[in-house]
Amino acid sequence: MSALNVHIHITEEEERNLLSNVAEGDWQAFTRLYDAYSPLIIHYLQVYLTEKHDVEEIGQEVFLKVWKKREILVTVRSFKNYVFIMARNALNDFLKARQALLQKQAGYSKDYVLPHYSADDKLITDQYESIARSGLDMLSEKQRRIFLLRTRDEMTIQEIADAEGMSVGGVHKSLQQSTQQLKDYLARNGISFTLLLLILFFQP
């Protein structure tokens, strides 16, 4: 895949349809999303990176993660916000890794300018993360374990059933119940289910 130079506009209805199709494994729909949003991501990365190959590599990594996590796209309300959060996290990881490598090789610290987030932004993010994690804590230990095995660790339903000594139907039922409980809890606190998934995927 190669990023286009011109941003392709897609309507909200088309985006919803594309996300649904990509979640089901439609590569053509994924390519459409990539063509529409990769120029925006590339432009964002170019603000912080000067090397073209670094920009392209991180951009590719972001969209490969989108494809890898495609099953959750049906819960995403705004793909633009979703993919920009992924790009921001990938950029931060890259800059931190590069700084650590240079420190090790040269024996001195060189400061890199990371994307700036205001104190208010950080406070809001921390509050959202706290609420999202509180939602997880409300689940029973078994529900939480099964939910994390499926979402964070990417185990299949069958693998979870084997690991937990459960039937496939039992795993499905647990996931449905925990997902609904989390959605209800997060909705009451004004947070989307997508945010919880992002926290699980990109926070240590």
Residue 34's closest CA among 13, 62, 69? 62
pLDDT digits (tens, 9 = 90+) for 95-140: 888 777 666 655 544 454 555 555 444 544 566 677 777 888 889 9
Contact residues for 128 (Cβ-Cβ < 8 A; gap 6+): 191, 195
CA dihedral 133, 97, 87, 31 (to 10 degrees): -120
Query: Reduced to 3 DSSP states, what percent helix, strand and coil does the chain have, rounded to the nearest 5?
Result: 75, 0, 25
Percent of residues, the chain, with pLDDT higher than 70: 75
Where do the structural domains in the chain lie, given as residue ranges? Answer: 1-113, 117-204
SS3 (DSSP) at 178? helix
SS3 (DSSP) at 155? coil
Residue 36: its pLDDT value, please? 92
Q: Tokens in use for 110?
A: 């060189």
Residue 3: its pLDDT value, please? 45
Residue 2: its pLDDT value, please? 44
Contact residues for 147 (Cβ-Cβ < 8 A; gap 6+): 136, 139, 174, 175, 178, 179, 182
Dihedral sign computed on CA atoms, order 33, 36, 39, 44:
negative
Instruction: Kindly report the backbone phi and psi dihedral angles of residue 78, in degrees, each rounded to the nearest multiple of 5, phi listed first.
Output: -130, 110
The average confidence (pLDDT) of the chain is 79
Flag whether pLDDT at 10 surpasses 80.
yes
Flag whether pLDDT at 204 surpasses 50.
no
Instruction: Kindly report the backbone phi and psi dihedral angles of residue 136, in degrees, each rounded to the nearest multiple of 5, phi listed first.
Output: -65, -40
Does this model's pTM top 0.75? My answer is: no
Between 202 and 153, the more confident residue is 153
Query: Could you give the count of Cα atoms lying within 13 Å of 167 in the half-sphere of its Cβ?
Result: 3
**The CATH fold of domain 117-204:** Arc Repressor Mutant, subunit A (1.10.10)
pLDDT digits (tens, 9 = 90+) for 47-78: 888 888 889 999 999 999 899 888 888 888 88
**The CATH fold of domain 1-113:** Rna Polymerase Sigma Factor; Chain: A (1.10.1740)
Residue 147 to residue 42: CA distance in whole angstroms: 33
SS3 (DSSP) at 25? coil
Q: DSSP assignment of 52-120, as one string?
A: HHHHHHHHHHHHHHHHHTGGGGGG-S-HHHHHHHHHHHHHHHHHHHHHHHHHHHHSS-----PPP--HH
